[in-house]
Amino acid sequence: MTIENPADNPSRAQVVDDEPPAPEEAARYALLQRLAPALQHHMMGQFQSMGMIAAMMEKRLESNEPDMANIRKDCAALGSVSQTAINSIINLMTWIDPKPASTVTVDAGVKECVGLLATQFRFKGFAIVNEVPPIDLAVSNAGLRSVLSATLIVLSDRSQAPAELVIQARAVPGGVELSIGLRATDRSRKSLYSAPCRLMKWRDVEVLAAAEAVGLTHGADAAQLVFSEACEDLDPRLANRA
């Protein structure tokens, strides 16, 4: 048996695509790398309460006279908790595979981003302060998630010392502006965070903002994001290109 060398037969040789990834693809991958630990943490957290209920049921069953009434309650609780966990994990997976047409109110979207990143940022010594008031205006969920989280990550990466990241919002014609700034604090925070293999840069945020039709201005320690109001049944990125 002979093994053919593809170099001897160019017509059968595989074409190797050595082009670098597109800027948007590279930026999204870099963001996903930074979000992965937070997503994993939240997914694992969904199973902790299920494990506690299962352990309690096992302990009850080991009794010589099992308390069947409480075991039935535990079974009902386990079913409820497992359904909640499934719904939460399905939602977390949309961070990896977003639905472009999905919308969210500004305050709810910011609250979700802060909830996902808060623990990871505390390891870095940062606190995220959400000062966004209730704003009854829908924006692109994918756009808010990607650009806001990337902005928070870059500001923390570039900061010389742990600080507070303050998020504020105000209505502007046709949308809303989010302002994110670093605020120094006297409180000492010890960082337990090791730097990833690739820090995110403002260029990554710029690429993501352009892809999601989000206005972006930034300085050394602050940024402003402008989100257009989105229709429930239309991808806002397509609307802006019409």
Calpha distance 145→228 (Å, rounded): 14
Residue 11 belongs to a domain: no
Lowest mean pLDDT among 7-21, 101-115, 178-192: 7-21
- Judged by DSSP in three states, 2 sits in coil
What is the distance in angstroms between the CA of the first residue and the CA of the last residue of the chain? 60
Lowest mean pLDDT among 63-67, 105-109, 207-211: 63-67
Calpha distance 242→226 (Å, rounded): 19
- 153 and 237 part of one domain: yes
In this predicted structure, the answer to whether residue 190 has a pLDDT above a threshold of 60 is no
In this predicted structure, the answer to whether residue 208 has a pLDDT above a threshold of 90 is yes
Calpha distance 127→104 (Å, rounded): 24
In the beta sheet, which residues pair with residue 104? 139
The pLDDT of residue 176 is 96
- 63 and 40 part of one domain: yes
DSSP class of residue 27 equals H
Query: In total, how many domains does the chain have?
Result: 2
Q: Which structural domain range is residue 89 located in?
A: 23-93
Residue 2 belongs to a domain: no
The string of pLDDT tens digits covering residues 155-184 is 998 887 889 999 999 999 999 999 999 998
Residue 170 belongs to a domain: yes
Lowest mean pLDDT among 45-54, 85-94, 127-136, 207-216: 45-54
pLDDT confidence tier of residue 109, bands split at 50, 70 and 90: very high
- 51 and 157 part of one domain: no
In this predicted structure, the answer to whether residue 23 has a pLDDT above a threshold of 70 is yes
In this predicted structure, the answer to whether residue 81 has a pLDDT above a threshold of 90 is no
DSSP class of residue 133 equals P
- 113 and 87 part of one domain: no
In this predicted structure, the answer to whether residue 236 has a pLDDT above a threshold of 70 is no
The pLDDT of residue 227 is 97
Helix (H) and strand (E) counts for the chain?
A: 6, 7
- 225 and 129 part of one domain: yes
Mean pLDDT of the chain: 83
Q: What is the pTM of this model?
A: 0.76
The string of pLDDT tens digits covering residues 36-79 is 999 988 787 777 777 788 888 888 888 888 788 888 888 888 88
pLDDT confidence tier of residue 239, bands split at 50, 70 and 90: very low
Residue 150 near residue 225 (C-beta atoms within 8 A):
no
- The residue among 63, 93, 123 that closes a domain is 93
The pLDDT of residue 145 is 96
Q: Which residues contact 114 (CB under 8 A, 6 or more apart)?
A: 128, 130, 167
Residue 183 near residue 166 (C-beta atoms within 8 A):
yes
Residue 4 belongs to a domain: no
Calpha distance 185→180 (Å, rounded): 16
- 82 and 156 part of one domain: no
| Cα–Cα distance list, 150 to 103, 186, 208, 216 (Å) | 19, 26, 8, 12
pLDDT confidence tier of residue 220, bands split at 50, 70 and 90: confident
